[in-house]
């Protein structure tokens, strides 16, 4: 016990207040993060001396620990007392960690990280916690803090999260924490922090929502309030008619989702809204179901606006008590114009979908693979058949021209490298020309100029389709694949 009093610089007659003052004085030079062994030795000495001075009787500090008493013997046979244990053995003994409420301590750490505006201030606040002077408590608290953050992320800044990991020694690969999950947690917490009203300018700057070189906070708050409402078609139609509103909503949802999936957006965002707008505002040649619904909704709104505008013009220009035939003619004309707009869009959407369906690679999953392979020649044959029929003579040429365009686009998107393509086309060129002459010569004598042009486009479309199918013959059967 003498080593404990000597380490604290006290005598056996010291009281409890003197022991605490000496311990606090030595803690200024013995830090747990700088010298853990020396701190553990000081803490053990403090516990032993404090327990000794709080007893009612003065401690016997000059004698070794008590040993079992034996029966009295003769003086000449009495053994000398055992030597006191070495100093290093006593210092190696570790005291049990103090009783700490880890749940409350973890909540206090998380609250400090949320409220902190500076990483250095957060580190100073954590270092002043006496519970973290114990290495065991510090390690256990780190596990509880990470577990609670993964279960329920908090709006913590990235620099505060880095300071928190650095304090608990979890900012390296040997800490045992999954770095991918940790990065996802950091992004999710940054998003939650940017959703706070005082940090909306940071969110607007990150997603590129700017106006006159400054973050457009007003538009951001308006879009956030819109996405938090339940999905309604009337509100969707009104939002789709506004300039660039759909693309802005899609960009906002992508900024709220750290992994790119709408399931990972914050709970406050409506799930149907989060699933609809990114796919409705997708750019490029992809026609998704949400994009088709949005554009169809726009076409219906435009058709309705045209009908109302024409009817209003007729109403303002007509006289009171005029014949109702004028009204019926105006309404019929406006209805035809609106139906033409809606029908034209539906026809264009159908061609868009068919072109996208035909341009998919052979490995793409589909419900009817052979229907997709045979759809192009069937379309060419239908165009020639309609052209030869007397009841729809003009539509056959349009259908053949459309099938030829589809064949060219299908061939271009599904062909391999250009060098290999030219080599294969050169090998198959004579065969293509031969079969074209055989099939085209009889038709040239029995058709006029328009019919022959229709048949020529259909034959070229079938030829391109046949060349494309030959290039992908390995998908028909394994035996057709080249060695």
205-223: average pLDDT: 90
Nearest to 298 by CA among 318, 317, 280: 280
Asked if residue 163 has pLDDT above 60, the reply is yes
pLDDT for residue 93 = 42
Q: What is the mean pLDDT of the chain?
A: 77
Nearest to 16 by CA among 53, 43, 56, 59: 53
What is the CATH T-level fold of the domain 2-65+84-92, as seen in this structure? Helix Hairpins (1.10.287)
Confidence of residue 230 (pLDDT cuts 50, 70, 90): very high
Region of 428 on the Ramachandran plot (φ > 0 left; ψ -120 to 50 alpha; else beta): alpha
Nearest to 248 by CA among 217, 281, 274: 281
Percent of the chain surpassing pLDDT 90: 10
Q: How far apart are CA 225 and CA 246, in angstroms?
A: 15
Contacts of range 221-229, beta carbons closer than 8 Å, 24 or more positions apart = 221/197, 223/248, 223/249, 223/252, 224/195, 224/252, 226/273, 227/252, 227/253, 227/269, 227/270, 227/273, 227/274, 227/277, 228/268, 228/269, 228/270, 229/270, 229/273
Collapsing DSSP to helix, strand or coil, 153 comes out as coil
The overall pTM is greater than 0.95: no
pLDDT for residue 204 = 92
pLDDT for residue 320 = 44
478 Cβ contact list (under 8 Å, min separation 6): none
- The pLDDT tens digits for 232-280 are 988 888 888 887 888 899 889 988 886 667 777 888 888 899 889 988 8
312-339: average pLDDT: 69
Asked if residue 450 has pLDDT above 80, the reply is no
The pair phi, psi for residue 116, each rounded to 5°, is -70, 140
Q: How far apart are CA 91 and CA 88, in angstroms?
A: 5
Asked if residue 440 has pLDDT above 60, the reply is no
pLDDT for residue 393 = 61
pLDDT for residue 477 = 66
Collapsing DSSP to helix, strand or coil, 202 comes out as helix
Residue 330 corresponds to which tokens in the numbers above? 């105006």
pLDDT for residue 8 = 81
pLDDT for residue 436 = 54
Residue 259 corresponds to which tokens in the numbers above? 């992994």
Helical segments of 129-256, H only:
135-151, 158-167, 179-194, 200-206, 217-227, 233-241, 245-256
pLDDT for residue 439 = 54
Strand 214-215, strand 210-211: pairing: antiparallel
Classify burial at 424, counting beta carbons within 10 Å of its beta carbon; exposed 0-12, middle 13-18, buried 19 or more: middle
Q: How far apart are CA 220 and CA 223, in angstroms?
A: 5
- The pLDDT tens digits for 48-86 are 888 888 773 444 444 344 434 444 444 443 344 444 444
416-445: average pLDDT: 54
Contact 373, 357 (CB under 8 A): no
The pair phi, psi for residue 376, each rounded to 5°, is -70, -50
289-312: average pLDDT: 85
Contact 303, 339 (CB under 8 A): yes
> In this structure, is the dihedral angle defined by the CA atoms of residues 461, 467, 469 and 472, taken in order, positive or negative?
negative
Asked if residue 288 has pLDDT above 80, the reply is yes
Percent of the chain surpassing pLDDT 70: 77
Residue 461 corresponds to which tokens in the numbers above? 């479309």
Asked if residue 221 has pLDDT above 90, the reply is yes
69 Cβ contact list (under 8 Å, min separation 6): none
The pair phi, psi for residue 215, each rounded to 5°, is -60, 130
Q: How far apart are CA 33 and CA 308, in angstroms?
A: 77
118-127, 417-426, 463-472: which range is least confident on average?
A: 417-426
């Amino acid at each position: 016990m003498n080593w404990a009093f000597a380490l604290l610089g006290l005598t056996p007659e010291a009281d409890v207040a003197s022991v605490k003052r000496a311990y606090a004085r030595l803690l200024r030079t013995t830090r747990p993060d700088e010298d853990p062994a020396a701190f553990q030795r000081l803490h053990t000495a403090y516990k032993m001396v404090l327990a000794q001075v709080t007893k009612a009787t003065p401690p016997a500090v000059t004698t070794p620990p008590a040993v079992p008493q034996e029966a009295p013997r003769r003086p000449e046979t009495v053994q000398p007392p055992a030597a006191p244990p070495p100093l290093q053995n006593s210092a190696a003994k570790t005291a049990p960690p103090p009783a700490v409420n880890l749940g409350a301590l973890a909540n206090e750490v998380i609250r400090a990280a949320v409220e902190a505006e500076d990483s250095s201030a957060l580190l100073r606040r954590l270092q002043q916690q006496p519970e973290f002077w114990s290495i065991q408590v510090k390690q256990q608290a780190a596990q509880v803090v990470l577990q609670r953050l993964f279960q329920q992320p908090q709006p913590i800044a990235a620099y505060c999260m880095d300071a928190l990991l650095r304090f608990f020694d979890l900012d390296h690969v040997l800490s045992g924490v999954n770095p991918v999950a940790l990065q996802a947690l950091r992004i999710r917490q940054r998003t939650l922090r940017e959703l706070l009203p005082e940090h909306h300018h940071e969110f607007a700057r990150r997603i590129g929502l700017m106006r006159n070189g400054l973050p457009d906070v007003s538009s951001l708050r308006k879009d956030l309030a819109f996405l938090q409402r339940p999905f309604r078609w009337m509100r969707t139609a009104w939002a789709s008619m506004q300039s660039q509103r759909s693309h802005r909503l899609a960009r906002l949802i992508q900024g709220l989702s750290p992994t790119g999936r709408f399931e990972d957006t914050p709970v406050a965002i409506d799930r149907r809204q989060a699933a609809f707008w990114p796919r409705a505002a997708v750019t490029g040649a992809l026609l998704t179901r949400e994009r088709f619904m949005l554009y169809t909704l726009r076409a219906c709104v435009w058709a309705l606006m045209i009908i109302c505008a024409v009817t209003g013009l007729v109403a303002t220009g007509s006289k009171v008590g005029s014949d109702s035939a004028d009204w019926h003619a105006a309404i019929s004309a406006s209805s035809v114009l609106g139906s033409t707009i809606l029908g034209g869009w539906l026809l264009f959407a159908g061609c868009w979908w068919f072109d996208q369906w035909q341009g998919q690679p052979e490995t793409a999953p589909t419900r009817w693979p052979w229907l997709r392979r045979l759809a192009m020649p069937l379309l060419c044959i239908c165009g020639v058949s309609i052209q030869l029929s007397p009841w729809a003579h003009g539509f056959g040429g349009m259908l053949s021209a459309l099938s030829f365009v589809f064949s060219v686009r299908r061939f271009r998107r599904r062909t391999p490298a250009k060098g290999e393509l030219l080599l294969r086309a050169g090998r198959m060129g004579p065969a293509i020309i031969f079969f074209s002459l055989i099939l085209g010569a009889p038709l040239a004598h029995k058709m006029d100029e328009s019919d022959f042009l229709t048949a020529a486009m259909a034959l070229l479309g079938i030829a391109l389709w046949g060349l494309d199918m030959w290039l992908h013959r390995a998908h028909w059967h394994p035996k057709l694949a080249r060695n």
